[in-house]
Structure 1
Amino acid sequence: MSFLSVQDLKVHFPTQDGVVKATDGLSFDLQKGQTLGIVGESGSGKSVSSSTILGLHRRTRAKVSGQILLEGTDLLTISDEEMRQRRGKDVAMIFQDPLSAMHPYYTVGNQIAEAYRVHNDVSKRAARTRAIEMLDRVGIPQPDRRVDDYPHQFSGGMRQRAMIAMGLINNPGLLIADEPTTALDVTVQAQILDLLQDLQREFDSAIIIITHDLGVVAEMADNVLVMYAGRAVEYGACKEILTHPEMPYTWGLLSSVPDVAGDTEAKLLPIPGNPPSLLNPPSGCAFHPRCTHRDKVQGDLCTTQLPDLVPGPRGGTHLKRCHIANPDVIYAQEILPEIAPDLVEEL
């Protein structure tokens, strides 16, 4: 049995203009000690699906259905009180912007200690000691002094480390990291990723990392879930997805990566158009208005019929949502020569 199993998750938001289908039938599994990378453009449903796992859409107008099984318990059916007890202890989240996620009026140590005291019957002194230990564990210099600083007194990288300390202070089985390296320089990004991997090995946590950075995915993930318009469009092992992608949207993401070893004047190859409105998504395959390969499918399947998420030509656990019958051939002949060779060689 999977440690986390999400089955047919739907998160819809009723609005005056209609229903926003932020997540529409999402399914995936995650084992203990493994990392799942969720990638896709803004508005594809990555953060909404993960915040739903954390129970952040309870008591809102959101219509949530499906199953979120954490060690066999459906998080969508338990009471608010039980979800509150699990949030931060069994499942925790590192938010995208730690400066906004942290309260500006309370010290960093106070907020980390509070996260510990909520789930443990300990004194304030013991919680403060635990907060200092965690700040030291995530690499904050002079933690016994910096524990009394406010969030604005921390640099961006230090705030992100403090958020990681807060997320891991109760040793959760599942850690969700929402764009944990956004707005950080590359050196700090590498340090944060190394820290997450070290802590994962220490606590045997399952990690969901949400990102648009394929370099982060290549570094961290065991499996990759590519999302578009609220649905999974490709899913499989990280190396398999990044070296043998079978969905044109994934081809577009890979082709958008600049080739650092190539011509400095070469143009990037962006995906044409914009992501669709989730109020009124396109019929058939949601990606078809932007897809430059739909002429390779006979008839009007792309515009009229939503493809199922099924194994591709390579079989196994590599799933793709596309009508193209021979994506591996098209990728090898047309797409691979345009992709940054350093990314492929790295894998």
Structure 2
Amino acid sequence: MSNPLLSVVDLKVHFPTNDGIVKATDGLSYTLERGKTLGIVGESGSGKSVSSSAIMGLHRGTNAHVSGQILLDGVDLLQLSNEDMRKHRGKEVAMIFQDPLSAMHPYYTVGNQIGEAYRVHHDVSKKAARARTIEMLERVGIPQPDRRVDDYPHQFSGGMRQRAMIAMGLINNPALLIADEPTTALDVTVQAQILDLLQDLQRDFDAGIIIITHDLGVVAEMADDVLVMYAGRAVEYGTTKEILTHPEMPYTWGLISSIPDVAGDTSARLIPIPGNPPSLLQPPTGCAFHPRCTHRDKVPGNLCVTTLPELVPGQRSEGHLKRCHIPDPDAVYEREVLPEIAPDLVEER
């Protein structure tokens, strides 16, 4: 079996503060194959963007303490010098940021900024960089790219700016593309266009994609595998089909339960996850989710409060990992959770 494109091993990103250490990411591990898509989901503050920023080397020069391994095609990015990391950033690994308006400089044209990303890694003239930029703008579906290349970011709509950011991320044909909430603040039609575009470009460039999102609908559409994060750790990991049809961690159940079913009963109430995400400065003992978990009575004794569960294989496959003390989570999900969120599906089963 070939080595994965990306292998993250025991990644920790800690931020020292006057009140203590914020453990934004604490022992995160996963892999990504070339040409595949990994969806990373979780509430705000779960460590999704922080871990991906570590891959880009964006914590360098800050007070963050980053440890572990980030192997991209066998090269540990954490061991590279700042100069070598700059050579990798944008060429081997690129990122589409959450807000394209703030990610692009308002004083420079869109074409100037995309062309600069190309010239940094290629010894070419401005004319050649401009031609490459126009080619990429056309590739991502921007009309009249030879004219729009000289427009400023504020002259682009939200969807157009997002397309321009994708063009900037892919102009150097990176092996890995990280998309941080690429469809945030876009209307549903434009969201679908952006996702279709990413999938088309992935097939063309054979890139690995990490998509960070709150939207499980986006994950179902795009991702081959899903990583569910909570309080800086992975709490469930597996194929998209396994995670969405047979989740084995109560936090994942909560994420799925809070999604409205457009084909179901329109009068049915959403089932929110009670409480708020924990402080990463003083996370709860044991399982970090236990203060909000409505199923901790299924675990004998006080195990949820005292002991952090390991990330272990689930009941259905070795590749499906879950961090939970519940002895038979599949049965609990089928018996208690599924009847509430999808009674029609229960009847079919």
Give the superposition deviation at 1:259. Answer: 1.3
For 2:284, give the aligned amino acid: P
The one of 260, 267, 270 equivalent to 1:268 is: 270
Q: Do the aligned partners of 1:36 and 1:208 also contact (CA within 8 Å) in 2?
A: yes
The one of 289, 292, 317 equivalent to 2:291 is: 289
The one of 51, 61, 84 equivalent to 1:82 is: 84
Structure 2 matches for 1:26-175, cutoff 5 A?
26-175=28-177
Q: Counterparts of 1:273 and 1:85 in 2: how far apart (Å)? A: 44
The one of 13, 20, 23 equivalent to 1:21 is: 23
Q: How has the CA–CA distance of structure 1 residues 342 and 227 changed in structure 2, closer, same or farther, with 3 Å as cutoff?
A: farther
Q: Counterparts of 2:266 and 2:224 in 1: how far apart (Å)? A: 32
Q: Counterparts of 1:264 and 1:246 in 2: how far apart (Å)? A: 27
For 1:212, give the aligned amino acid: H
Q: Counterparts of 2:260 and 2:281 in 1: how far apart (Å)? A: 32
Secondary structure class of the residue paired with 2:199 = helix
In the other structure, the counterpart of 1:309 is 311
Q: Counterparts of 1:322 and 1:31 in 2: how far apart (Å)? A: 26
In the other structure, the counterpart of 2:241 is 239
Q: Do the aligned partners of 1:255 and 1:269 also contact (CA within 8 Å) in 2?
A: yes
- Cα deviation, 1:42-96, whole Å, max 9, x if unaligned, reads 0000000001000000111000000000111100011000000000000000000
Q: Do the aligned partners of 1:4 and 1:69 also contact (CA within 8 Å) in 2?
A: yes
**Is 1:208 paired with 2:210?**
yes
Secondary structure class of the residue paired with 2:59 = coil
Secondary structure class of the residue paired with 2:101 = helix
For 2:281, give the aligned amino acid: L
Give the superposition deviation at 1:305. Answer: 0.1
Give the superposition deviation at 1:313. Answer: 1.5
TM-score computed with the length of structure 2 as normaliser: 0.97
Q: Counterparts of 2:115 and 2:342 in 1: how far apart (Å)? A: 45
Secondary structure class of the residue paired with 1:29 = strand
Q: How has the CA–CA distance of structure 1 residues 4 and 71 changed in structure 2, closer, same or farther, with 3 Å as cutoff?
A: same
Secondary structure class of the residue paired with 2:238 = strand
Q: Counterparts of 2:48 and 2:37 in 1: how far apart (Å)? A: 15
Q: Do the aligned partners of 1:259 and 1:342 also contact (CA within 8 Å) in 2?
A: no
Q: Counterparts of 1:181 and 1:246 in 2: how far apart (Å)? A: 28
Q: Counterparts of 2:257 and 2:71 in 1: how far apart (Å)? A: 35
Q: Counterparts of 2:344 and 2:5 in 1: how far apart (Å)? A: 34
Q: Percent identity?
A: 82
Q: Do the aligned partners of 1:257 and 1:340 also contact (CA within 8 Å) in 2?
A: no
In the other structure, the counterpart of 2:223 is 221
CA-based RMSD: 1.2
Q: Counterparts of 1:328 and 1:302 in 2: how far apart (Å)? A: 18
- Cα deviation, 1:30-49, whole Å, max 9, x if unaligned, reads 01000000000000000000
Give the superposition deviation at 1:340. Answer: 4.8
In the other structure, the counterpart of 2:197 is 195
Q: Counterparts of 1:315 and 1:133 in 2: how far apart (Å)? A: 44
Give the superposition deviation at 1:263. Answer: 2.4
Q: Do the aligned partners of 1:8 and 1:66 also contact (CA within 8 Å) in 2?
A: yes
Q: Do the aligned partners of 1:107 and 1:147 also contact (CA within 8 Å) in 2?
A: yes
- Cα deviation, 1:118-169, whole Å, max 9, x if unaligned, reads 0000000100010000000000000000000000000000000000000000
Unaligned runs of 5+ in 2: none
Give the superposition deviation at 1:341. Answer: 7.5
Q: Counterparts of 1:336 and 1:37 in 2: how far apart (Å)? A: 23
Unaligned runs of 5+ in 1: none
For 2:258, give the aligned amino acid: S
For 1:334, give the aligned amino acid: E
Q: Counterparts of 1:69 and 1:26 in 2: how far apart (Å)? A: 13
Give the superposition deviation at 1:280. Answer: 0.2
Secondary structure class of the residue paired with 1:76 = helix
Secondary structure class of the residue paired with 2:244 = helix
**Is 1:176 paired with 2:178?**
yes
Give the superposition deviation at 1:111. Answer: 0.2
Give the superposition deviation at 1:342. Answer: 9.4
Give the superposition deviation at 1:203. Answer: 0.3
Q: Do the aligned partners of 1:11 and 1:23 also contact (CA within 8 Å) in 2?
A: yes
